[in-house]
Amino acid sequence: MISDMQKWTPNVASIIEHAKNIYPEQEVVSRMVSGEIHKTNYKEVCIRSRKLASALEKDGYKKGDVLATLALNTYRHLEMYYGISGMGAITHTLNFRLHPEQAVYIINHAEDKIIFVETPFIPMMEALKDQLGCVEKYIILCDQSEMPETDLKNAISYEEYIESGDENYEWPAMDDDAACGLCYTSGTTGNPKGVLYAHKSNILHAQAALTGLTISPDESILMVVPLFHVLAWGTPYFAPMFGLKLVMPGMQMEGEPLYDLIEKEEVTLAFGVPTVWMGLLSYCRDNNKILNSVKNTVIGGSALSLAILKEFDEVHDVNVIQGWGMTEMSPLGTSNFLTEEMKKMSKEDRYAVQLKQGRPMYGIELKVVDDLGNELPKDGESQGHLLVRGPWVLQKYFKAEKDAVDKDGWFDTGDISVLDQDGYMTIKDRAKDVIKSGGEWISSIDLENAAVGHPEVAEACVVGIPHPKWDERPILFIVTNSGEPIEKQSILDFLESKVAKWWLPDEIIFLKELPHGATGKLQKFELRDEYTNYYMEK
Ligand code: AMP
């Protein structure tokens, strides 16, 4: 029997309309390219999003057109999230750290018709424009008075463009499961793959994030996670949904400007990847600064280390909520929020729980299987391939013919994990990064986390390298705080009490910096390729 309830075919623009009606004056703060702080509110963002949607329609753009952003975290990018998707087009967020070849591939594959370009990225677009036949127009994110000289096709300033739009524009109804946004994976092998999100999946994901991350109504949120990657973990949707103050750092992600913004805007909750927090924490450490207003930080994208967790907790009294997810999951899957039970634990026991990637949010199912696909017990020990299923997990990649999931809807995340009796999931490795030594597995993540606990170690990366006797053995790459090599033995002594003896790396190599990809993740394959013959030739 079909229910008597209303049919729900939502438009994400309903979120910004809700914020305008209920929290009109709530602040939206952005650091602009110039470094200046710009302040607006949800009412203004909503009206300007309507104007953008209307201007696009008047210009002939339609539902289903793919329009790209090459932009920073500012109020204009937020308006594009609503203005583009709200009129039925698809907001395709481009990562400005992409290798030019990948950017060309992605733009052509998506068939982007417009690219909204932040002024610092104009040279990048000018260099690529001749290879981007699909792009009809470039909208430059500035005032008309700031419009630079450029030979980009039909270039126009954003402010001039939206001026022609109607501020009373009415959002169209969406079809069931209508597409809303597009983001490409930052794949390290082969071409990047697109994930086409729905209005419905984005709204469900945002609602789940509010509860899953235990967000309270008075937060002032710092969105360091970029709007160009995986929907900034849902923040551009759930912040206006709940009337939260939104603070966006623009281009300046280094320790000092982030600290200043946090203090000035009394940020209570900050979202970012570990590398950003390492910069902030080291700035605070070197300058005797304390994070006064921040109560919680959500960390994800890479594994949280004990060193970061401890420093936030012990020095700044900031609770860390670890989140795990991926582009294919909109992105959030699990969250490790603080429970009353955890508050009663000894610090060491609590840390041990907080280093797990967390429990699945309602809607997401997890299972771990062996190489043959047999489900493994949730016993905290059995490690295998992590599969996920849920309403904000993809069914197939953009323009792919085949599904990316099995017949029962399970998607293989490529992560190697353990599930336990309490519902927690722990990531041990990416399947491709796991180290097989003498038939046993070494977790590169566990070894890296142990190494960064050493007081002289700023960053660590562990890679499995072919070995004549053991199949593979780890090499530990280290960046020290001073940038200079230190006594290898002091690192081995430190690790000895933390990991099994046979996990100890056979070699430690000091580097000035580690290779990071476009979203801040370690590019282990670069080191693996460079050192692949290291043990064989020894
Ligand atoms: P992306 O699609 O670029 O967001 O990358 C997704 C991948 O990042 C996941 O499959 C994990 O391997 C990794 N990842 C994300 N969050 C975490 C986390 N909290 N701990 C460990 N790995 C993570």
For the stretch 16-63, pLDDT in tens is: 999 999 999 999 999 999 999 999 999 999 999 999 999 999 999 999
Domain membership flag for residue 9:
no
Quick one: pLDDT at residue 451?
Answer: 93
Closest ligand 1 atom to residue 328 Cα is: 2
Domain membership flag for residue 508:
yes
Indicate which residue's Cα is closest to atom 20 of ligand 1: 303
Measured in Å, residue 328 CA sits from the centre of ligand 1 at 11
Looking at the fold, whether 400 and 503 belong to one and the same domain comes out as no
Residue 473 pLDDT level (bands cut at 50, 70, 90): very high
What are the residues facing 360 on neighbouring strands?
A: 334
Measured in Å, residue 437 CA sits from the centre of ligand 1 at 24
Ramachandran angles phi, psi of 39, nearest 5°:
-120, 130
Cβ atoms of 515 and 525 closer than 8 Å:
no
How many domains does one find in the chain? 3
For the stretch 270-307, pLDDT in tens is: 999 998 999 999 999 999 999 999 999 999 998 999 99
Closest CA to 448 of 495, 382, 501: 495
Q: In 3-state terms, what secondary structure has residue 139? A: strand
**Where residue 189 sits, what CATH number does that domain have?**
3.40.50.12780
Domain membership flag for residue 181:
yes
Measured in Å, residue 301 CA sits from the centre of ligand 1 at 4
**Where residue 480 sits, what CATH number does that domain have?**
3.30.300.30
Indicate which residue's Cα is closest to atom 7 of ligand 1: 326
Give the DSSP H or E segment for 299.
Answer: strand 296-299
Looking at the fold, whether 419 and 440 belong to one and the same domain comes out as no
Looking at the fold, whether 277 and 202 belong to one and the same domain comes out as yes
The domain of 504 spans 434-530
Q: Of 306, 340, 374, which residue constitutes the final position of a domain?
A: 340
Domain membership flag for residue 188:
yes
Looking at the fold, whether 203 and 95 belong to one and the same domain comes out as yes
Best substitution site from 183, 302, 305, 424 to test ligand 1's pocket, by max atoms within 8 Å of Cβ?
A: 302
Quick one: pLDDT at residue 188?
Answer: 56
Residue 122 has pLDDT above 90, yes or no: yes
Looking at the fold, whether 371 and 455 belong to one and the same domain comes out as no
Looking at the fold, whether 407 and 473 belong to one and the same domain comes out as no
Active site residues: 185, 328, 436, 441
Looking at the fold, whether 404 and 377 belong to one and the same domain comes out as yes
For residue 467, the 8-state DSSP code is E
Span 70-99, average pLDDT: 96
**Where residue 391 sits, what CATH number does that domain have?**
2.30.38.10
Looking at the fold, whether 87 and 155 belong to one and the same domain comes out as yes
Residue 538 has pLDDT above 90, yes or no: no
For the stretch 131-174, pLDDT in tens is: 999 999 999 999 999 999 999 999 999 999 999 999 999 999 99
Residue 76 pLDDT level (bands cut at 50, 70, 90): very high
Looking at the fold, whether 388 and 458 belong to one and the same domain comes out as no
Looking at the fold, whether 448 and 372 belong to one and the same domain comes out as no
Using a 10 angstrom Cβ sphere, with 0-12 exposed, 13-18 middle and 19 or more buried, the burial of residue 282 is middle
Best substitution site from 93, 102, 427 to test ligand 1's pocket, by max atoms within 8 Å of Cβ?
A: 427
Domain membership flag for residue 253:
yes
Domain membership flag for residue 67:
yes
As a whole number of Å, the CA-based R_g of the chain is: 23
Domain membership flag for residue 351:
no
Residue 187 pLDDT level (bands cut at 50, 70, 90): low
For the stretch 522-534, pLDDT in tens is: 889 899 999 999 9
Structure tokens at 13: 């623009």
Query: What is the overall mean pLDDT for the chain?
Result: 95
Domain membership flag for residue 466:
yes
Residue 440 has pLDDT above 90, yes or no: no
For the stretch 219-235, pLDDT in tens is: 999 999 999 999 999 99
Residue 189 has pLDDT above 80, yes or no: no
Looking at the fold, whether 462 and 426 belong to one and the same domain comes out as no
Structure tokens at 313: 């907790």
For the stretch 191-214, pLDDT in tens is: 899 999 999 999 999 999 999 999
Question: In angstroms, rounded to a whole number, what is the distance separating the alpha carbons of residues 406 and 387?
Answer: 10
Q: Of 414, 430, 446, which residue constitutes the final position of a domain?
A: 430
Looking at the fold, whether 461 and 371 belong to one and the same domain comes out as no
Specify the pTM. 0.91
